[in-house]
Structure 1
C-alpha cells in the first residue's frame, strides 16, 4: 500500500501548476486527497485534467489567487521572486516548497527509481511506468511528459514502486534518495546553471551519493560522459552498466529496426533475451535496456519485464505522430540539444525510406543557443531541408547578439538547406509548401513549436 498524504501539503498552492513537472506533483497530491490549488499563465488541457481531479486552477498570476489558509506554496526554479503569489506567501508567512522537495516527500516510504541524464529521461521513466503497470505492479510515477492524454504525466499507484524523472538542470535531483538510480548520459547543458563539465560531473556524483545503502546505480557503458563519471566513483555503490560496449554488465547484442519498432537482444546474467521496443531509433532501444536493468535491480524478473516494455508506444512530443495529410506525415520531436536532434533525425532517416525529412526547428533558450548553436546547425544538416524559427526564451531574458542566425549560419556552412522564418504564424505555410507525398515533417524543439503540427496538417490537406 502506498503511503498517504504528507500533512504539510494537505492544502498546497502551485505557482505554474500547468508545467510538466509541477502538474505531475499536483496530480498525485490531488489523488492522495489534498485540496490542490494553483495558477498558470494560460489555460490548457493539463489545467482541465487537474480540475477534473478537484483542483482549483486560476489563469494568470495574482496575489488574490493564494488562499490565506494554504499549507504551502510549491514553486519551480522558473518562478521569479517578484511573482505576486510568491510575494503574498511571504506576507502571510506561508512556507515555500521547491517542487523537488515536494516530489521527494511523495516518495517517502516507497521504493524509488530516479531516472537521470542529459537526454532520454522522460522516455525511460515512461517505459518503466508503462511496463510496471502492464505487470500489475501499480507503480506511482511522475514524468516530464504526457503518456497518452493531457495530465497523464503522473499517477498515485497502490504499489510500492515510485518511478520519477530526476532533473539535473537546477540540481534538484540532489533531493531524492532512490533505491535505484539510472544515469543515461552525461553532457554539458543548462549553461545558466553549469559552467563546465567538471561542475556537471560533481553534480551527478552528488546524485549518486544519494542512493540509499544497498541500492543500485544503472549507468551507460557507451556514453563517454557516463563512463567518465563511473571512473570517478569510489565503488561504494553497486553499479550495473548497460550498452553495446563489450564490458557492459547488460550488453546489447543487437538492435534490428523493424519499421517504427526495433527488436533488441541483450545478454543479461549470461543469457540472451530478445524483446520488442515499439518506438523507432537505437537511442530509444537503449533507453529500454536501461529500464530493463533498473527493473531487474529492483527485483522485477527480466523475463517478465522485457515483453512488458513493448506496451510502451511513446510519449507526447517524443517522435509523436501528429497525423498525415496528402501523403505527408507530421511528427513532433522534443529534441532541443544537438545530441537529441541528431538521434531523432537518424531514427527518422531509417524510417523515412525514400521520403525526405523536413524540419521546423525552434531553438530553446538563449544560453543554450549561445553555447551549442553551431552543433545545432550541424545536426540540422542531417535533414533534407529545415525552417528555423526565432529562439523560444522560456525563463530567460535575451542575450545580446544571440539569435537563431547562429544556428542558421552553422547549418549552411555544413551544406544544409535552411530557411529562416521570424513570424511563427507563417511557418506552417512555408514548411507545408516544401513537402511532397512520402516526406516526413518534424516539428522540433522544447518550446511551443509543438502547437504548429495541426496547422501544418491543415495546410497540407488543402
Structure 2
C-alpha cells in the first residue's frame, strides 16, 4: 500500500505549477488528499487537468495568490528570487521546498526506480509506467511528459513501486534514494550549471551513490559517457551493476533491432535466453530505452517475459515523435529533441521509418547557453533533413547572451550542406511550410519550446 501525505505537504503552493516536473508532483499530492494550489504564467491543458483534481490554479504571479495557511511553497530552479509569491512566502515564514525534495518525499517508503541520463529519461520512465500498470502493479509515477494512453504525466498508485524521471540539469537527482537507478547516457549539457564533463561525471556518481544498499544500477554498455561513468564508480560493495546494449559484454544484450514502419521488433539475450518484443515507436534509441526499462523491471523481480509483453503496450509520449496529423498526404510529427544527439537520433529514426519520404524540419533552438556551446552540432544534425526552417532561440529561463543567435546554427547547417531557411516570425511558419511541402513529405516540428504549437497550425494551413 502506498504511503499518504508527507509531513508539511498537506497545503502546498506551487510556483510554476504548469511545468512538466511541478505539475506531476502537484497531481500526486492532490490524489493523496492534499489541498493543492499554485500559479503559472499562462492557461494550459495542464492547468485544467490540475483543477479537475481539485487544485486551485491562478494565472499570473502575485503575492495575493499565496494563502496565509499554506504549509509550504514548492519551487523549481527556474523560479527567480524576486517572484512575488516567493517574496510573500518569506514574509509569512512559509517554508520553501525545492521540487526535488518534494518528489523525494513522495517516494518515501516505496520501491523507487529513478531514470537518469542526458537523453531518453521521459521515454524510459514512461515505458516502465505503462508496463507496470499493464501488469496490474498499480505504480505511482512522475514523468516529464504526458503519456499518450493515460494522457497524464503523473499518478498516485496503490502499489509499492514509484517510477520517477531523475533530472540531472540542476543536480536535483542527487536527492533520491532509489532501489534501482537507470543511467541511459552521460553527455555535456546544461551549460549554465556544469562547466565540464568532470563535473557531470561527479554529479552522476553522486546520484548512483544514493542507490539503497543491495540496489541495482542499470547502465548502458554502449554509450561512451556511461561506460566512463561505470569505470569511475568506486564503492561497489553494496551495488549490483547490470549493463545493457549491443556490446558483446552487456548483461542484457541487444541482439537485433528490426524496423517495422513506425515500430521496431527487438530481440535481446538475457540470462542465456532470447526474448523478442515490440516497441511501438521507431528508431534504435527508443529500442534501447525499452531494453533499459526491461532490465530495471527484472531487477525488481518482475519476470522478463511478462515485462517484455507489457512493454509492447507503450504507445508513446507526447512530443516524442508524436504524430499530430496528416493532411493531403503530408504527415506532421512533433519532436522534443533539442540537444544534437537527440536531434540526430530522431532524424535518423524518421529516415529509417520512411526512407522514401522527404523530411522537412521546423527547428526552434532552446536556451542561449546550449546554443552557444552546441550550436555548430545542432546545425550539423539538421543536415540529415532535406530542408529546415530555423526559428529564433527560445529563451525559457535564460537572459540573452550577446552575439548568440540562431545564425550560429544556420551557418553551421549551411556549411554541412543543409538547405536552411531562417524565419524570425513564428506565425509565418505554416505559410512557409505550405509552400515547401509536397504529398508524401514528413514535417517534423522540433525543439523543447513552444514550437510544438505549430503542428496544428501547419495542418490547418495544409488543409486549405
TM-score by length of 2: 0.99
1:21 paired to 2:21: yes
1:428 aligns with 2:445: no
Deviation at 1:124, TM superposition (A): 0.1
1:173 aligned to 2:168? no
User: How many angstroms apart in 2 are the aligned matches of 1:149 and 1:16?
Assistant: 25
RMSD: 0.8
1:319-358 equivalences under 5 Å are: 319-358=321-360
Partner of 2:207: 207
Displacement of 1:432 after TM fit? 2.2
Deviations 1:151-173 (CA, angstroms, capped at 9, x unpaired): 60000000000000000000000
CA-CA distance at 1:351 after TM superposition: 1.4
SS in 2 for 1:263: strand
Shift in Å, 1:427: 1.0
Q: Tell me, in whole angstroms, the C-alpha distance in 2 between the residues paired with 1:116 and 1:233.
A: 16
* Aligned-pair CA distance for 1:148: 2.4
Partner of 1:308: 310
Q: Structure 1 residues 230-239 or 437-446, which shifts more?
A: 230-239
Residues 141, 164 of structure 1: 8 Å contact kept: yes
Distance in 1 (CA, whole Å) between partners of 2:112 and 2:149 is 24
For 2:433 and 2:204, how far apart are their aligned partners in 1?
40
CA positional deviation for 1:48: 0.2
**DSSP-derived class of the 1:311 partner:** coil
> Which residues of 2 match residues 22-421 of structure 1 at below 5 A?
22-148=22-148, 152-234=152-234, 235-236=236-237, 237-421=239-423
Q: Give secondary structure in 2 for the equivalent of 1:132.
A: helix
Give the C-alpha shift of residue 354 in structure 1.
Answer: 1.4
Larger mean Cα displacement after TM superposition, 256-265 or 234-243? 234-243
1: CA distance, partners of 2:283 / 2:430: 26
Gaps of 5+ in 2: none
Whole-angstrom CA distance in 2 between matches of 1:351 and 1:109:
43
CA contact (8 A) 1:63 1:84 kept: yes
Could you tell me how far apart the structure 2 residues matched to 1:151 and 1:260 are? 20
Q: Note the alpha carbon deviations across 1:229-286, whole angstroms, 9 max, x for none.
A: 0000123321000000010000000000011111100000111111111110000000
Counterpart CA distance in 2 for 1:150 and 1:160 is 20
Q: Which consecutive unaligned segments of at least 5 residues does structure 1 have?
A: none
Secondary structure of the residue aligned to 1:9 is coil
Runs (4 or more) in structure 1 with deviation over 4 Å come to none
3-state DSSP of counterpart to 1:174: helix
Q: Deviation of residue 399 (structure 1)?
A: 0.1
Aligned mates of 2:25, 2:314 — CA distance in 1: 22
Alpha-carbon contact 1:15-1:79 (below 8 Å) kept: yes
Distance 1:353 1:284 in 2: 18
C-alpha separation in 1, matches of 2:362 and 2:261: 23
Distance in 2 between the 1:179 and 1:20 partners? 24
CA contact (8 A) 1:46 1:150 kept: no
TM-score, normalised via structure 1 length:
0.99
